[in-house]
Structures are given as structure tokens and as C-alpha cells.
Amino acid sequence: MKTIGVLAFQGGVIEHVKKIEELGAKPQLVKKEEDLKGLDGLILPGGESTTIGKFLIETGLKDHILKLIYEGMPVWGTCAGAILLSKNIKNQGSGVLPLLSIVIERNAYGSQLDSFKKEVFVPKFNIGTECVFIRAPRIVEVAEDVEVLAELETPIAVLQKNILATTFHPELTSQNYWHSFFVENVVK
């Protein structure tokens, strides 16, 4: 059975845990270094990226997570998690875990009031998936070795080696395509 960690500082933690359980994998809440042991993959959920980044630094988890990702552990950042993984945040520098070769723009679709839900066709799944955007970032540039999995004018889901990022919240839908893709294809 695969064990998938969910960074548990804030955001859609419980929703990610439920999706992992639905797939028959074991969820592991991650709040401290010991929680990283034995993980097959790690999800960085949405929330407030600045706050999550501060917690990663204050708890010492930042360096441990970076080491594991460098060693090949699969990681998936949703919304704020995608910002944390970005090598370049437009007009702001880089994320706290800057390993994903993208340029991302915070709150690109507007405020909380501008949040929306949209069905987007995903060629890799050959199906439309429901996407929930809440104060979502926008990926404005990707490196050549970054695979774009889904687009809504600009990329909204990308994969680079062992790093998956989505600018939306798949944990807030009734579908499980993205969690299944992460557990079955990214986590090997």
C-alpha cells in the first residue's frame, strides 16, 4: 500500500486525505520531520503560500522536503502548493521549495469573490475534469522540459519529472482523476 503525505499546516488537508483513502492508499499528515518517514509521495495543499512557507522554514521541514524531492520523491502542489514549488513567482522571487521550472503569478484570477468552477478537457485523461479555482495562481511560463497536462488559456496543470502542480483544487470536487493520476502514475 502506498503512503501519501499531506502537508497539514492549513488548506484542504482533510479533503486530500479523503481522496487518498478513496484510492486505497494510506494518508499521512505531515507536520514535523518524523512524519516524512516512509512516504511514497507528498501533497502540498492549497491555503496561503506565504504562511505555509513560513511554517516550512520555522519547523525545519523545508530542507528535509527539498532533500526528499531531490532524491526523487514525488510531490504535488495544488494552488498555494504550486506557488511554493515555483522557481519564479512573477514580481516576487521564488517559492520556498523552488524546484519547478515555471513562472507563476499569485491571485491571477482575482479575489476570493472571483472564485469559479470550470470543466476542463485533459488530453492525458481523455476526459473533462472539474476544476475549482479559489484565488488561484496562473502559470505564465514553463520551461521546455515541463509537460503541460491541462490548460485554460494558460497552463493549469504541469508535470516536471517527479513534480506535479495544479493551480486549482481537485480535492474540492466529486472526481478523483488528479489524485488517481498522482498516486498511480507520478508515485511509482
Residues 6+ apart with CB under 8 A from 173: 129, 130, 131, 132
The answer to whether 134 is a known ligand-binding residue is yes
Is 79 tagged catalytic?
yes
The answer to whether 174 is a known ligand-binding residue is no
Is 64 tagged catalytic?
no
Catalytic residue among 79, 105, 131, 179: 79
Catalytic residue among 15, 16, 169, 179: 169
**CA quadruple 173, 178, 183, 187: dihedral positive or negative?**
negative
The grid cell for 63 is 530542507
Q: CA–CA distance from 97 to each of 104, 119, 128 (Å)?
A: 13, 29, 30
The answer to whether 138 is a known ligand-binding residue is no
DSSP 59-71: HTHHHHHHHHHHT
The answer to whether 135 is a known ligand-binding residue is yes
> Residue type for 47, please?
G
Catalytic residue among 15, 105, 131, 171: 171
Asked if 97 and 62 touch (Cβ cutoff 8 Å), the reply is: yes
Is 179 tagged catalytic?
no
Asked if 4 and 45 touch (Cβ cutoff 8 Å), the reply is: no
Q: Binding site membership: which residues?
A: 47-49, 106, 134-135
Residues belonging to the binding site for L-glutamine are: 47-49, 106, 134-135
* Residue numbers annotated as active site: 79, 169, 171
